[in-house]
Amino acid sequence: MNRVLIGLALVLSPLGVASTLGEQTSLALVEKKVDELFLALTSPDAPGLAVLVRHNGKTAFERAYGVRDLRSKVKIDARTNFRLASFTKQFTAMAVMLLVHDGKLRADETLGEVFPDFPDYGKTITVRNLLNHVSGLPDYEDLMAEAEQANGSMWSPEKQIQDDEVLKLLEKEQSGKFAPGTSWSYSNSGYVVLGLIVAKASGKPYGEFLRDRIFAPLKMHHTIAYQKGKNEVANRAFGHSKENGLFKETDQSATSATLGDGGIYSNLEDLAKWDDALGNHALLSDKEMQPALTPVKLNDGSEPHWPKEPNGDNLHPGKVVCYGFGWFLDPYNGHPRMWHTGSTMGFRTVVERFLGENLTIIILSNRTDLDPEKLSLEVADLFLPAKN
């Protein structure tokens, strides 16, 4: 029985082994269904995706579809590095928690304490508020649009906004969207600021701190916080969008250089090590991880909701949202999970970790016409036991 079938046996057999020919046949059918799901959506010479299913710390399914870019036509594989987009946020949150562990930062430390020049509306915004998306910080992309409306073009894919410029835009404002802790709104601004806080508290650039405290210890040797002109992405996938039925390379935008909210590149091989580290508490103890896995409550004790108004970062308008530190935490069909999507110019990503079943699904895509979140749950349905 090949490696994929052995992995699937661990998932589907109650004894952890495929002991009969009938079980082996059913495992082959599951493998075939997973493969057919992605084969139907991709072609060998087009941008595609990489898929990883892990169970009990072992790889159960790993396959890649399509090419890294349309120029070289190099095939995607387990070492192909994709821009993670908001999948990055869990690494930023881990960096913050490591600094709390080190005693160099407090979860209740305010923006005013970290950045003394920050205006008064930040004096009550805490690091915890930023992690939970209840800070009320203005959206920096909205502030960019206002600045360009007043001053003309300021940023482009060639002249991208940097983290310190985001902070300056936020410091020009006199108020937030709401008082911290009174509402919930997904905030890229908050995670850009967290990246800056990591750098200030550690005394190292964001990418260097993550390399030293997360990537190197876990032997994630090809995972980096990408900064154009400062480092290079090995085995790099380039992002694509479909226009009039044809793929066009759409790899960078004016906001692609910010770090803490979405600047990391990684691959299936390294992310399998990340999954192991989370399962084995390699970086923080189970107790130290609990705040990250505790859904935020508003100041009045109520559950937060997604904003009612649809927008690009609003996945489920008006519905209850469960968010910890860099992770969504709502269950799927009764199965507890921690998960996150990523979406940026040319890329879509997702990680789903089903805690009770020790099952992880990761999909990385260098095209925007696919929905990895939906696909990951279709894969999960093949593996998860039915809940009454």
Kindly report the backbone phi and psi dihedral angles of residue 199, in degrees, each rounded to the nearest multiple of 5, phi listed first.
-65, -45
Question: Under a CB-based contact definition with an 8 Å cutoff, are residues 222 and 170 in contact?
Answer: no
The tens digit of pLDDT for each residue in 9-50 reads: 434 333 333 444 455 556 667 778 999 999 999 999 999 999
Question: Among 3.30.2130.10, 3.40.190.10, 3.40.50.300, 3.40.710.10, what is the CATH number of 41-383?
Answer: 3.40.710.10
Structure letter (DSSP) for residue 24? H
Residue 337, token pair as written in the block: 């999970």
- Mean pLDDT estimate for the chain: 91
The tens digit of pLDDT for each residue in 51-70 reads: 999 988 889 899 999 999 99
C-alpha distances in Å from residue 308, one per residue of 316, 319, 323: 9, 8, 17
Question: Under a CB-based contact definition with an 8 Å cutoff, are residues 165 and 279 in contact?
Answer: no
Distance CA 350, CA 329 (A): 14
Decide if pLDDT at 239 tops 50. Answer: yes
Distance CA 78, CA 70 (A): 18
Residue type, 374: K
What local confidence, expressed as pLDDT, does residue 11 receive? 40
Distance CA 210, CA 112 (A): 24
Query: What's the mean pLDDT in 270-294?
Result: 97
What local confidence, expressed as pLDDT, does residue 26 receive? 63
**How do the domains of the chain map onto residue ranges?**
41-383
Residue type, 348: R
What local confidence, expressed as pLDDT, does residue 92 receive? 98
